[in-house]
Amino acid sequence: MTDVVVTGLGATTPLGGDVASTWAAMLAGESGISAIEEEWAAALPVRIAGRLRVEPAEVMDRVQARRLDRCEQVALIAAREAWADAGRPEVEPERLAVVIGTGTGGALSMLGQDDVLEASGVRKVSPHTVPMLMANGPAAWVSIELGARGGAHTPVSACASGAEAIAMGLDLIRLGRADVVVAGGAEACIHPLPLAGFAQAKAHSTRNDAPREASRPFDTGRDGFVIGEGSALVVLERAGFAAARAARVHAVLAGAGVTSDAHHITAGHRDGQVRAMRLALASAGLGPLDVRHVHAHATSTPPGDLTEAESIAEAVGTHPAVTATKSMTGHLFGAAGALGAVAAVLALRDQVVPATVNLDELDPRVRLDVVAGRPRRGPLGAALANSFGFGGHNASLVFTGGGG
291-295 and 321-323 as β-strands: parallel, antiparallel, unpaired?
Answer: parallel
Contact between 243 and 192 under an 8 Å Cβ cutoff? The reply is no
d(CA 80, CA 142) in angstroms, rounded, equals 9
Distance CA 165, CA 159 (A): 11
Distance CA 144, CA 125 (A): 25
Of the candidates 226, 225, 317, the residue with the CA atom closest to the CA atom of residue 274: 317
C-alpha–C-alpha distance, residues 222 and 264, integer Å: 22
Active site residues: 159, 297, 331
Is the bond into 14 cis (omega within 30 degrees of 0)?
Answer: no
Q: Annotate the chain with three-state secondary structure.
A: CCCEEEEEEEEEECCECCHHHHHHHHHHCCCCCEECCCHHHCCCCCCEEECCCCCHHHCCCHHHHHCCCHHHHHHHHHHHHHHHHCCCCCCCHHHEEEEEECCCCCHHHHHHHHHHHHHHCHHHCCCCHHHHHCCCHHHHHHHHHHCCCCCEECCCCHHHHHHHHHHHHHHHHHCCCCCEEEEEEEECCCCHHHHHHHHHCCCECCCCCCHHHCCCCCECCCCCECEECEEEEEEEEEHHHHHHCCCCCCEEEEEEEEEECCCCCCCCCHHHHHHHHHHHHHHHCCCHHHEEEEECCCCCCHHHHHHHHHHHHHHCCCCCEEECCHHHHCECHHHHHHHHHHHHHHHHHHCEECCECCCCCECCCCCCEECECCCEECCCEEEEEEEEECCCEEEEEEEEECCC
Distance CA 79, CA 85 (A): 10
